[in-house]
Structure 1
Amino acid sequence: MLGADSTSTYGVAGDRHYYNHAQKIFEVGEDASLGIVTWGLGGLSVGSYRMLIARFADRLKPGISVEDAAKQWASDFWNAYTASDIWPLAIECQRLAKMGPYVVGANPPAPNSRDKGEEERFEAYRLGLVAGFCIGGYMMPDRVPSAFVIIADPLGGSSPVPSPITQGWSFWGAPNLIQRLIFGCDDSLKASILSSGKWNGTNDDLNTLVADHQLAHPLVPMREAIDFVHSCIFSTIKAMKFSSLPQICGGPIEIAAITVDRKFRWVRHKPWDTAINEGGLA
């Protein structure tokens, strides 16, 4: 099951623009049993994700595993990433990462530390240049479903290694709101508690305490899983809308399903005129 909103962010901190009808879920080829969902960096100057994934699909050899396909996509994307016009920014991010952090009020500043402008650029590049992908489905003839996460990180410095996903669900892009809803605590809040000086336990102690209160649920049938994915994305969109946070999540919700007896199928898919009809006007 792959689900995503449709908001894509262009530009960096201080110069961001949001488009609400972008494509984040892609079928890998036609009549395919693989799909890709993406988050983070919205595209590359050397080619859109649509084009890069189409070329990737053209080169896929029959009979390979999902893991092999994930490795090929990781390599293909990294080659495009390093050939694009953002690669110099990634190199600059790597240079800034080797320096010490900017400390407000430090006089004199620590040797080889970032100044205020460098700190702002580092944070913008460190977060804004990350591209994430999840590729999942099955390959014939075994029909065994699997999925892998691929994170292209400017600080990684080399082609990303796909990580397998175990049974369950995962959220990327803007996961903090669902983490708060399901676990009652997101990673940022946990980090603040641990660094507050008022928590006497360990990191594992806090994780155990939070886990005891999560809204856990058993495995569910396919249609309930679709409802769960849609509900989580919808909740995130609404929480973003009624917050002071950047509106990085919004637009139509898209969901695709790949089952072991069928290939890639759209559950919800926006039409090509969705931006024209925004607001419900025909």
Structure 2
Amino acid sequence: MTIALLIKVNDGIVLASDSASTLGGGAGVLNTYNNANKVFNLHKALPIGAMTWGLGNVGPSSIATISKDMREHFHAGEGAWEPWRLDSAKYSVEAVANQVRDYLSDRYSPVAAEHALIVEAAIKEDVKAGVPEDVARMRNPLLSELGFLVAGYSSEADESTAYAISVGPTGPPVMVEVLPSGETGAQWWGQPEAIARIMNGISLGTPDALVNLGIGGLDANAAQEIANGLRGQLGVQMIAPPMPIQDAIDLAEFLVSTTIQFVRFTPGPPTVGGPIEIATITKHEGFRWVRRKHFFDSRINPPFGGHGHAEHA
């Protein structure tokens, strides 16, 4: 799992994530790795970044590798990729997000279709062996959804924009604008419970808890309405539009760190963890790393001289 957090203020955007990735199997989580990359720079010369959650790889390629593939296309734009080349004087984050959505869908769809055939065959074998079909389907899930955020500044824009993309095994990919024009605040994906309790003042499970308590015979709709009211009364306004970018960075680090500790001490596998990575996107400074991990030492890897050199990592 993951915690992937976006904070938007007047001065720009903060992207922050953990580094955990989980290896799943029929019995649940088989292993957890704490060095996955989830925050990316999509163009070295333009204020555009990205962040991912959900599925960690498509076929043999990690989402980090796929993100760098897209970055190369946005930079070079040669041959079949020429339409990808970005003109610094006239580009939009929305157009970039559309390209990313289509590319991810093209990479994901054949892998998901092949996986679905394997899943159906496994379900048939389980049912033949006497396993109830609903149990068999739980044991043999379809490919997980892939979540991807594209965020930054369009050319000549004074306000940042962000688009969340969801690519799943059923239906077409979905893209929605996050915190649209005039709005600031936070949005998060992956393991949302800890941040929801801090920001909203209540658990995401509050509506179900109200129904389970059976107070006044509440149905799901009434319970949700009460939960919305509680959120309005108990939520904490931690983000103000004029918040300086450094304070937004500090808040992002606090929220991601708290989620890591919340999951650590909650029963179950530690599916959020590892180093915290943070990047900012501002109009004039562009994409800047605030906190980043490397699997190599940049002191012994020259910044120039060869494909895949440190500058492009």
Kept in 1, the 8 Å contact 2:199–2:238? The answer is no
The residue number in structure 1 matching 2:177 is: 164
* Number of aligned residue pairs: 252
Match of 1:25 among 17, 39, 47: 39
Aligned equivalent of 1:52: 66
CA gap 1:207/1:91 in 2 versus in 1, 3 angstroms: farther
Which residue of 135, 142, 158 corresponds with 1:116? 135
Question: Which residue in 1 is equivalent to 2:48?
Answer: 34
**RMSD of Structure 2 on Structure 1 (CA):** 2.6
Aligned-pair CA distance for 1:93: 7.5
Partner of 2:103: 76
Q: Which of 118, 121, 132 is residue 147 of structure 2 equivalent to?
A: 132
Q: Which moved more, 1:163-172 or 1:194-203?
A: 194-203
Tell me the secondary structure at the aligned position of residue 212 of structure 1: helix
Partner of 1:216: 237
What residue identity is the alignment partner of 1:34? I
Alpha carbons 1:148, 1:165 under 8 Å: kept: yes
Q: Residues 25 and 37 of structure 1 are in contact (CA less than 8 Å); yes or no, is this contact kept in structure 2?
A: yes
Give the direction of change, closer, same or farther, for the CA distance of 1:261–1:12 in structure 2 (3 Å limit): same
Amino acid at match of 1:10: L
Q: What letter matches 1:40 in structure 2?
A: G
Deviation by residue 1:3-37 (Cα, 9 ceiling, x = unmatched): 00001112335253211011000100323311111
CA drift of 1:144 comes to 3.4
Task: Measure the CA separation in 2 of the matches of 1:64 and 1:82.
Answer: 27
Deviation (angstroms), 1:241: 1.4
Q: Given residue 61 of structure 1, which amino acid in structure 2 is its aligned partner?
A: L
Q: In the TM superposition, what whole-angstrom CA distance separates every residue of 1:193-245 from its partner, at most 9, and x where no partner exists?
A: 23553363442232112320112224121111001100000001111112213
Q: Does 1:204 align with 2:204?
A: no
1:161–1:204 Cα change, 3 Å: same
1:148-186 deviation digits (Å, cap 9, x = unpaired): 11111223x22x232111121011011111112332323
Distance 1:90 1:185 in 2: 37
User: Is contact 1:136–1:146 with CA below 8 Å preserved after alignment?
Assistant: yes
Note if contact 1:29-1:54 (Cα within 8 Å) is conserved in structure 2: no
Give the aligned partner of residue 89 of structure 1. 115
| Equivalent-residue separation in structure 2 for 1:197 and 1:92 (angstroms) | 43
1:194 paired residue among 211, 215, 227: 211
**Distance 1:94-1:153 versus aligned 2 partners, 3 A rule:** farther
Matched, 1:65 2:78: no
% identity of equivalent residues: 28
| Greater fraction helix | 2
Give the distance between the partners of 1:142 and 1:182, measured in 2 at CA.
29
Letter of the 1:75 partner, please give it. D
CA contact under 8 A between 2:146 and 2:168: conserved in structure 1? Answer: yes
Q: Separation in 2 of the partners of 1:13 and 1:246?
A: 15
The structure-2 alpha-carbon separation of the partners of 1:243 and 1:70, relative to structure 1 and needing over 3 Å to count, comes to same
- What is the TM-score normalised by the length of structure 1? 0.80
Residue 143 of structure 1 and its aligned partner are, at CA, apart by 4.8
Does residue 237 (structure 1) correspond to residue 260 (structure 2)? The answer is: yes
SS of the residue corresponding to residue 209 of structure 1 reads: helix
Question: Equivalent residue for 1:182?
Answer: 199
Pair 1:263-2:286 in alignment: yes
Q: Which residue of 1 aligns with 2:15?
A: 2
For each residue in 1:63-83, what CA deviation from the matched residue of structure 2 results, as whole angstroms up to 9, or x when unmatched?
221111111101000100013
Cα distance in 2 for partners of 1:60, 1:245 equals 45
User: TM-score when scaled to structure 2?
Assistant: 0.73
Report the residue type matching 1:149 in the other structure. Answer: A
Please list every run of 5 or more consecutive structure 2 residues that lacks an aligned counterpart in the other structure. 1-13, 74-83, 122-131, 298-313
